[in-house]
Amino acid sequence: MFNRYVSVFASALLGAVLSVSVAAQSSPALIPAAPDIAATSHLLIDAKSGKILAENNADQQLPPASLTKMMTSYIMSYEIARGNVNPSDMVKISKNAWAQNPVFRGSSLMWIEVGTEVSVEDLHRGVIISSGNDATVAVAEHLAGSESAFADVMNQHAQVMGMTGTYFVNSHGLPADGHVTTARDLSILAQHIINDFPEDYKLYSERSYTYNGIRTPNRNSLLGGQLGVDGLKTGHTSEAGYCLVTSAEKNGMRLISVVMGTESPRARQVESSKLLNYGFRFYETPQLYKAGEQLTEAKLWSAVRNSVRVGVAEDVFVTIPRGSRKDLQASMTLDKVIRGAITEGQTLGELEVNLGDDNIVKLPIVALESIEEAGFFGRLIDAIKLFFMQLFGAI
């Protein structure tokens, strides 16, 4: 049960200083409906807070085409980070990964040749920038022995990420029965790429890549424009239509948009732009607290110290209507009696942030340090003090 309560006004909240205050009266921010999007499925999400700003059919399972390669590139980064492969490792190109493989006819390629050796680093660019189907097969065979085994690895990663509507059959996204994903799942994957491997994410912003004397352009035509787009991936097959996952950052706010099943390259660009413009125009995402930053101290009994520093375990971002930051209110409740040994990270209360009647954040308040239990006499003295304070209603 909690009974220690503190209210926070926006200015104090943004400075991570808890104090008692009364919220000022102000006019509510007015947000128009999200734009109509000419796509089979779409979603717009804030990458830092996870708040969904617009969606339609976001859980409909659809063929992802080359958006599949986002998972292939993620696994490459994952294996490099774990030390299982090195960017300088050389990969022998099989007939399956040969650019002249008839399976790849008419599709995007890195233009690698059978029997040659290509570095992992070059293949990584070939997957992300060139969207090379040949490069993805070379990666799959190098990392897992075969493309079918690599698909199993892809599905394992998808499961760990919580991509519940996704099932991969191959590494590249060419049509295959049962090879599906959703707009929501792709937004989850994009968040992992951005947050887990920020250095590798920079590859998605490169405009072109030249290998074997052949220059291949990055097909994400929104890169480098006024919207601040710096990734991620295009996709197209006759079955999937024209698809695009983008991420853009402006003034510290990062958005991820997903459009699937548009009718042309131009359409996927226009519809993605509409989503991003809407998000940046009408919302903002301030950071309220930093992980590990002290918010206050909690009274501690039967310990070698009489107080413990408390805060939040993770950075706290909230996505709110633009201009409504001053209307945020936060409250913190701490356990009624905190006693004995304390372990860093131990939950000692709860933090809530509200905007009007809407609760937008609820997360635990944790100890920022470990503190040992007091000796016998210290525990005895505090036990007596607590007895009489509770007896007279002081706690």
Catalytic residues: 66, 69, 131
Of 351, 364, 16, 20, the C-alpha closest to 8 is 20
Beta strands 229-237; 241-250: pairing state: antiparallel
Distance (Å, rounded) from C-alpha 338 to C-alpha 341?
Answer: 9
Rg (CA), the chain: 26
Give the list of residues 6+ apart from residue 234 with CB closer than 8 angstroms, or none.
66, 67, 131, 219, 220, 242, 243, 244, 265, 268
Distance (Å, rounded) from C-alpha 120 to C-alpha 207?
Answer: 19
Report the C-alpha dihedral over residues 66, 230, 155, 164, rounded to 10 degrees: -100
Of 134, 146, 126, the C-alpha closest to 106 is 134
Assigned token pair, 125: 């660019």
Amino acid at 188: I
